[in-house]
Structures are given as C-alpha cells and as structure tokens.
Amino acid sequence: MPESLDRQESEEEMRVALELLHRTQLRTNSFGPLEPPRRGSVLDQERRHTAYMPIDGMVVAHRARALDNLNVLFTAMVQESGTKVVAWPFALYPLIRASIESAATAMWLIKSERKADRVLRCLQLAFRSVSDARSLSHAIASSPGALLEQEERHARTVERLTELKNTVGQLKQVSLGNPPKYTNILTKVSPPRQAGKKDLSPLLIWKIASSFVHGSEHVMRALSDVRQVTEFEDGLASFELTPSFRMLAVSASACVDLLTDLDTRYEILATRDHARRLIDATLTDGVGEGP
C-alpha cells in the first residue's frame, strides 16, 4: 500500500493540537455572565431605540448560543475526565459553524462606532425574528383565522419596529428589512487578510465549517486527514477520511477569540457614555440583565 498517499497528523502535531484544545476549553469555561449596562452608558441609552428587543439583551442571547455550542463541542470531544479526546470527521463542524455564526452576529451588532448602525442592526435582527415566526405560522397554521391573527400580529410588530427606527434621525429615511447575509456579517467582523499571515479569520472558519455541513467533497478532503484502506486496482482505491484535530482545535480557538473580542467591546459600550466617559459603577444601579 503506497504510504505516500496517506495524510495523518504526526505525534507532535497531535500534541500541539490537543494542548490548544485544552487551553481553548479552559478559556470557554472562564466566560461568565455579562454585566448589565450601567445607567447612562451607550447600551443603556440605546435601549429606548431598540425597546422591542433591547440591544444588550440581543448581544447576551447570541453570545449564549455561541457558548452553548462550544460547550457541547467539548462535552462530546473531551471524555473520561479529560484523559480521552475523540472526534468525528463531520459531526462537530455544525457546532463550530453555529458558534462562530452567533458570536459574529453579536459582534457585528455592536462593532460600529455609529449609533445609527447599531440601532439599525438590532432592529434588522428583530425584523428577521418576527418574519421567521410569520413564515413558520404559514406552514403550520391550523385555520384561516389563526393565519389572519398571525398576519395582524406581524403587521403591528413591524409598525412598532418602524416607530423605533424613526426615533433615530439618521434612520428615518432608511427602509427596515432583514439583516445582511451571514457572509457579509462575517466579513464585517473579520480583519482584512494580510499577505503571509496564516491566522484563520471568523469568515474563513465559517466557510470551512459550512463546507463540512454541506458536504463539499474537495474541501473536506483537503482539510481532513486521509488514510488509504485498499490497494489500487485498475487505478482505483478506497480512502478513509479521519478528523483533523488541528483543524478542530484552531476552529474552536477562533470562536473563543471572537467571543473575547465581543466581551471587550460590550464592556466599553456598557460602561461608557457616548462621549467615551467612564461611568462610575457606584453611581448607577444598572438596567436589568436581558434574556
């Protein structure tokens, strides 16, 4: 059997990957709840423009989804009190995709320095949420009356979101609709690609995970380990894809990096006002914790 066609991680590569996986799990476990915005902070003041689904609560919700998927990833991979690590060729990438997607959405929501951008993005996410509920009701409505009730509820909600949008002068002439596609959101939160730099951006991690989710054969072969299991016969042989611990570890680490950046950004907006002045925590009692 021609060994040159096998592509397997060496013992050293495996050791490095497992160390990174261990550090990433510890970092994931270190995340605690976000503090509620201090009264008078940017996020506190922008709650009135996003009252239907407050902006800080939306960040908390997306962050929770990102962490939930990471926790399930480590629960599946790290077994027997950390003495055994297992992986599968395909099953873990949906968790990575869901985590990076949620973390990126939360970061995109508050990344801009412009108030109008943050408010509009929050309202766009809320609009998509109610539109998804409307689409589901069309699929499962039990009667014309139930469908009509949902349509009326949807119309009232969109009217309320439009009213909130119009509380920001710069948004009065802007139409309210769905947020951009995930490709655009991931691009917004990813650093520009630099020649010679090998770090994987959130956008690239998302594309890699999506390729595994959708079964893109060439990408999966290129990013997995390969083992030849039969001899060549008439130019054909069987090969087995085995999971790359390096790729899984790097992908999970990228999710945690993005969540760390998110928490830093959130803290700035939750503790400072629009003039960037730090608000004394002893002089404010906060405004609720969000969902």
From first to last of its 291 residues, the chain has per-residue pLDDT tens of: 444 445 667 788 888 999 999 999 999 999 999 999 999 999 999 999 999 999 999 999 999 999 999 999 999 998 887 778 888 889 999 999 999 999 999 999 999 999 999 999 999 999 999 999 888 888 887 788 878 888 888 999 999 999 999 999 999 999 999 999 999 999 999 988 766 666 789 999 999 999 999 988 888 888 887 777 888 888 787 877 788 899 999 999 999 999 999 999 999 999 999 999 999 888 665 444 443
Phi, psi dihedrals of residue 242, rounded to the nearest 5°:
-120, 150
Q: DSSP characters for the chain?
A: --GGG-B---HHHHHHHHHHHHHHHHHHHT--PPPPPPTTSHHHHHTGGGTTS-HHHHHHHHHHHHHHHHHHHHHHHEETTTTEE---SSTTHHHHHHHHHHHHHHHHHHH-S-HHHHHHHHHHHHHHHHHHHHHHHHHH-SSHHHHHHHHHHHHHHHHHHHHHHTTSGGGTTSPP-PPPPHHHHHHHHSPPP-TT--PPPHHHHHHHHHHHHHT-HHHHHHHSEEEE-S--BTTB--EEEE--HHHHHHHHHHHHHHHHHHHHHHHHHHHB-TT-PBPPGGG--------
pLDDT of residue 198: 65
Unique residue bearing structure tokens 């700035």: 268
Check: CB of residue 223 under 8 Å from CB of residue 205.
no
Q: Which residue ranges make up each domain of the chain?
A: 3-114+181-272
pLDDT of residue 288: 42
pLDDT of residue 1: 40
pLDDT of residue 202: 95
Check: CB of residue 110 under 8 Å from CB of residue 269.
yes
pLDDT of residue 24: 96
pLDDT of residue 2: 44
Residues 37 and 284: their CA atoms lie apart, in Å, by: 9
Summary count for the chain: helices (H), strands (E): 10, 4
pLDDT of residue 225: 79
143-181 residue pLDDT tens: 888 788 888 889 999 999 999 999 999 999 999 999 999
Residues 241 and 160: their CA atoms lie apart, in Å, by: 51
**40 Cβ neighbours under 8 A, 6+ residues apart:** 273, 279, 284
pLDDT of residue 102: 98
Q: What is the DSSP letter of 236?
A: B
